[in-house]
Structure 1
Amino acid sequence: MSEWVAQDPAADDPYRIGFDEAAVGLVVLSADETVIVAANRALHDLIGWAPGTLPGRAIAELLAEAPGGLQASLQFWRRADGSSLDVRVRRAGRTLVVESVDVDTAAHSEANSEALAAAGLGEWRWDRATGLLTLSRRAARILGRPPGRSVSWDELKTGLSETELARLGAIIAEAGAAGTPYQFDTPTTVAGRTVILRVRGQVVAGPDGAPASMVGVIQDITTRVEARDEILSRDQRLRVATTIAKLGIFEWHMLEDQAIWENEHMYEIFGHAPEDGTIGKAEFLNDILHPEDRPAVRKAISRALREDGILQIGGRIRRKSDGAWRTIDMAGRFERDAPGRLPRRLIGVVADVTDRRLAEERQSLLIRELHHRVKNTLATVQAIVGSTARTASSIESFYEAFVGRIKSLAHTHSVLTEDTWQMASLENLLLNELKPYAEVTADGGAEGRISLSGPAIDLPSEIAVPIGMAIHELTTNAAKYGALSNRTGRVAVDWTLEPGGPAGILRFSWRETGGPPVAPPSRQGFGSRLLQRVLIAQVQAEVTTDYAPGGFTLTMRAPIPPRNDSLNPLV
């Protein structure tokens, strides 16, 4: 046809008529492809030139792109008014076929096809008449099928469960009724393995308005879903771990001085309700943090910023909910957009360590208390050994007296240990020593040789040991020489708590009756020294003894030290 046009055939030539009346634009180029030899009416109309004005013009006048645009492709041509027009050019020799295209067609270029492939998107089309899917090469690779019109929907859906088919059918039907695109993710079996597909589609209606076909894209998102699930799993594990550890997680955005609290423990630690919101750096340093701790915290923040290191700070904060001071530890790291730039945010964790610090202080105090008790106990044992040796008349008498005193000492310490080195019941100390000798009645009944009367009093450890030793010595002396050395003697012990001092004053009375006649001792033994010296030195007691012939009597008034709650882990 190009040769025919070049010879300028007669106007009534049917081929020329066909050329001029063609519905698409036609252009015939010169041998060197630089000049327009002939152009039909459709081309003049398409690009806005008056009929018959294009032949003889350089083709470059029409091209808005480089001359390479003469190749078959989508390209820009220049209209007579200077505007650009999207056209599709097909070529046969020196003859060009030029058609206008809409914007969607213009956008669907070869480069777009490459971009779709790079994004992992494969195109597909389903025709209702044939029931077959036409797959692009990428879509075919995703589904493990040959490209082209190669697979029916009935065959493809075998990889889906009945429940999933029903769900997808409902999605497509709803979108078709509304005339909107649809999207869904679905697992299916491809080549024996399960993959997750993301399908986007659009129902295309036929001339009668009924769905005639569907078109869309498909993407394998298995790796993405697995990565997402792994991130969610890690996030869940992190949240469980921080929940168990009672750690608060936060982000602090520096430029805005705003904080994001990631979990409920942050609100618990600072005593905030969700409606109270979070706190920024300025409020934390100026209002929440204890004034004594602010300089150290500011210095730690500056050092972490300067050295690009981990921020580790501790301090006391005032909890909003109850105004209580709590001790916290905080650790975090500054994040930068690029090396050398100012940090953008701080990500970190906060722990309320108040109870742990108190436990550590209590443990330290207990260790010091233990050292003190051990030292005193060893001194007491040393005194027992020396005094028992000086007063014993034989090895047997030494052994008997020494073992009895050590047992009494051990029992007192056992009582204290059972109460976490805190308190020992005065009544229990008396019962331990006196029960082996006679039945004890709390109300002083006639059938008992021993009566105990007094309120429940717990003795702190610093006075329980010497008072326990004194009770042992009083019991031993009564059993050897006093009221418990015969069958008629009686021992009455009563005590009261009088006001005075930080925890009251113990008034203790030991009275013996019915025993052998009593006379003052000719020499001072260990028991006497214990009663007169240890009680006075260690207990600050006032001790009065009376060796009346009718029976020995001892009265003691001793201040009770205040209870040291820091030694009790239950407090």
Structure 2
Amino acid sequence: MDERADQDPVDDPRRAAFDDAPVALAVLTADGTRLAAGNRALHALLGWPDGALAGRPVAELAGAEAGAVQAGIQTWRCADGGALDVRVRRSGTTLAVEAVDADAAAHSEANREALAAAGLGEWRWDRASGLLTLSRRAAQILGRPAGRTVTWAALRPSLIEAERVAQRVREAIALGQPYSFDTPVVVGERTAIVRVRGQAAPGPDGAPAGMVGVVQDITTRVVARDEIAARDHRLRAATKLAKLGVFEWHMLDDQALWENERMYEIFGHAPEDGTIGKNEFLNDILHPDDRAAVRKAISAALREDRPLEIAGRIRRKSDGAWRTIDMAGRFERDAPDRLPRRLIGVVADVTDRRITEERQTLLIRELHHRVKNTLATVQAIVGSTARTATDIESFYEAFVGRIKSLAHTHSVLTEATWQTASLTGLLVNELSPYAEVDAGGGADGRIALDGPPIDLPSEVAVPIGMAIHELTTNAAKYGALSNRVGRVAVAWSLESGGPAGTLRFSWRESGGPPVQPPRRQGFGSRLLQRVLITQVQAEVATDYAPDGFSLTMRAPLPARDASLNPLA
């Protein structure tokens, strides 16, 4: 007998049974490093000629690290150098080897650990016994003991949506399909959200003999998802209230994604118009005067890796109007040293705000100018009233009257939308205390007003209002309103010429005491001659005829500043 025969542990009476066994069998040497023998099924399984495996190192077949072959699913090398997944069962030095399919090969103990690490627990339900078998991880997820211990009836009360779950499973089995669903489960004193995947396991006759699947606790994921959704909802609500458009610009393909309807409103696009990329924005939409500054801001934000903040004017597609926008965003990079992939930002239409700010600035300048003129006027009133007054009582009466007239004119200007004062209103306010005013110009009343509606801009309203006050005061003291029969007729019209036309104003008194030219120039005369000429650039002519004083004035009216109108 040769050496190989000496190493063969299989006794001659049993050799035939060993060689003819339908299962691939191998016998190891005592130290487990070599194959002492292999039957014909093993040779056929691995593609070797009969008898070729005896004496070969185990490492050559089962891998270089296999000093001693262990039980379980392994990869063995075939005669042609290919690999074969096999399941090995070991009893002493005898091995039983069988081929396994890919699913069985992948389902190893290591994979079980990987499933557990991924938070997946395996389960199997046997229809005959009605018992649910849970892996350790599945039992932990469901708050149950591991193993074959729980029935569907016992598990059902912990399922908050048990009927929906049962219906979903029944429908999937009827269609012969796998199923997957998320459902809340009561685990101890808390409610967990679990994801269940499963499918029917057919029996020998093809009918479902049970079900197999996995279960996963996704509570943290669901909570995080809901929180992200809530944050997204709050963000969208905030941007909607703030009227902000939200966008993404993908740099590589120069495509923009508009996240909300406000973006379409700002740019005047309908959804079917689509969005715009950087090139179209810079070359077609943005105002030519703003393009250089915007390009510079984009380059600086990219170079310095800082937030992008730009402002400019865009032409709105829907109506062609120019709108002013503010844009802010940040570039996102995959890594600190790489070029950014996209820009995420917001856009605000600030046209109305800018107009309001500009109007506010103009109003402040107007206020400064008006206060300065008012203080100068008050100073002149004090000085002139003091020089012409004969005593403290007359000074007080004249001063208070002039200040009240000045205050009234300013009140009218402040209340008016356009910062203007009605000429008719100024006349009625001064003349009505002395007699009934006929605003229609009739000849029967003591005071007749005749002229079209004219709103005086603030620049001329104050000096003209002061002039009307002085004319009325003089008429009440010395002229037509100082007796019971005198009359005052005021007429005006708007002639062509000047920025907004020229006011022609006529004041005529009759029926009063005989008129005598003044011996000296009082405050009223100085106001009529100097203030009107200086502040209004008016042409003023006075006539002290014995039968009644008269004044004629031609004053160019300044154009109204549209920016002072808050309704514009």
TM range (shorter): over 0.9
Which of 311, 315, 320 is residue 317 of structure 2 equivalent to? 320
Q: Deviations over 1:354-410 (max 9, x none)?
A: 222221111111111111101111111111111111111111111100110010000
Most deviating of 326-335 and 34-43: 34-43
Deviation, structure 1 residue 342:
2.1
CA distance, structure 2, for counterparts of residue 303 and residue 528 of structure 1 = 66
Contact kept, 8 Å, 2:141 with 2:217, in 1: the verdict is: yes
| Amino acid corresponding to residue 203 of structure 1 in structure 2 | A
Deviation, structure 1 residue 251:
2.0
User: Which residue does 2:82 correspond to in 1?
Assistant: 83
Aligned: 1:397 with 2:387: no
Contact kept, 8 Å, 1:65 with 1:76, in 2: the verdict is: no
Q: Deviations over 1:20-71 (max 9, x none)?
A: 4544222222222234333334323333344555445444453355324711
| Amino acid corresponding to residue 11 of structure 2 in structure 1 | D
User: Which residue does 2:464 correspond to in 1?
Assistant: 467
Aligned residue runs from structure 1 range 455-534, under 5 A: 455-534=452-531
CA distance, structure 2, for counterparts of residue 480 and residue 125 of structure 1 = 115
Q: Are residues 382 and 35 of structure 1, via their aligned partners in 2, closer, same or farther at CA, if it must alter by over 3 Å?
A: closer
Deviation, structure 1 residue 565:
1.3
Q: Are residues 416 and 319 of structure 1, via their aligned partners in 2, closer, same or farther at CA, if it must alter by over 3 Å?
A: same
CA distance, structure 2, for counterparts of residue 500 and residue 507 of structure 1 = 11
| Amino acid corresponding to residue 327 of structure 2 in structure 1 | M
TM-align CA RMSD: 2.2
SS at match of 1:312: strand
Q: Deviations over 1:180-218 (max 9, x none)?
A: 111000111101101100000001233444432110000
Q: Deviations over 1:397-439 (max 9, x none)?
A: 1110011001000000000011157100111111111111112
Aligned: 1:9 with 2:12: yes
CA distance, structure 1, for counterparts of residue 189 and residue 167 of structure 2 = 27
Contact kept, 8 Å, 2:32 with 2:69, in 1: the verdict is: no
Deviation, structure 1 residue 448:
3.4
Contact kept, 8 Å, 2:7 with 2:36, in 1: the verdict is: no
Q: Deviations over 1:216-273 (max 9, x none)?
A: 0000000001111111111111111111112222222222222222222222222222
Deviation, structure 1 residue 317:
2.1
CA distance, structure 2, for counterparts of residue 96 and residue 322 of structure 1 = 85
Which of 351, 362, 366 is residue 363 of structure 2 equivalent to? 366
Structure 2 length-normalised TM: 0.94
Deviation, structure 1 residue 143:
0.7
| Amino acid corresponding to residue 243 of structure 2 in structure 1 | K
CA distance, structure 2, for counterparts of residue 391 and residue 522 of structure 1 = 12
Deviation, structure 1 residue 113:
0.9
Deviation, structure 1 residue 170:
2.6
| Amino acid corresponding to residue 169 of structure 1 in structure 2 | A
Contact kept, 8 Å, 2:23 with 2:96, in 1: the verdict is: yes
Deviation, structure 1 residue 549:
2.4
| Amino acid corresponding to residue 391 of structure 2 in structure 1 | S
User: Which residue does 1:419 correspond to in 2?
Assistant: 416
Which sections of structure 1, spanning at least 5 residues, go unmatched?
Answer: none
CA distance, structure 2, for counterparts of residue 128 and residue 7 of structure 1 = 45
CA distance, structure 1, for counterparts of residue 477 and residue 275 of structure 2 = 76
Aligned residue runs from structure 1 range 33-112, under 5 A: 33-64=32-63, 66-68=65-67, 70-112=69-111
| Amino acid corresponding to residue 558 of structure 2 in structure 1 | P
CA distance, structure 1, for counterparts of residue 425 and residue 492 of structure 2 = 13
CA distance, structure 2, for counterparts of residue 394 and residue 37 of structure 1 = 144
Which of 413, 428, 450 is residue 425 of structure 2 equivalent to? 428
| Amino acid corresponding to residue 397 of structure 2 in structure 1 | E
Size of the alignment, in residue pairs?
A: 563
| Amino acid corresponding to residue 8 of structure 1 in structure 2 | D
Deviation, structure 1 residue 282:
2.3
Contact kept, 8 Å, 2:23 with 2:41, in 1: the verdict is: yes
Most deviating of 406-415 and 229-238: 229-238
SS at match of 2:532: helix
Aligned: 1:275 with 2:272: yes
SS at match of 1:279: coil
User: Which residue does 1:130 correspond to in 2?
Assistant: 129
Most deviating of 126-135 and 545-554: 545-554
CA distance, structure 2, for counterparts of residue 481 and residue 84 of structure 1 = 129
CA distance, structure 2, for counterparts of residue 381 and residue 485 of structure 1 = 27
CA distance, structure 1, for counterparts of residue 57 and residue 201 of structure 2 = 43
Aligned: 1:26 with 2:51: no
Most deviating of 299-308 and 381-390: 299-308
CA distance, structure 1, for counterparts of residue 35 and residue 460 of structure 2 = 122
Deviation, structure 1 residue 85:
1.5
Q: Are residues 368 and 57 of structure 1, via their aligned partners in 2, closer, same or farther at CA, if it must alter by over 3 Å?
A: closer
SS at match of 1:62: helix
Structure 1 length-normalised TM: 0.93
User: Which residue does 2:283 correspond to in 1?
Assistant: 286
Which sections of structure 2, spanning at least 5 residues, go unmatched?
Answer: 1-5
Aligned residue runs from structure 1 range 131-530, under 5 A: 131-161=130-160, 164-419=161-416, 422-445=419-442, 448-530=445-527
Most deviating of 173-182 and 394-403: 173-182
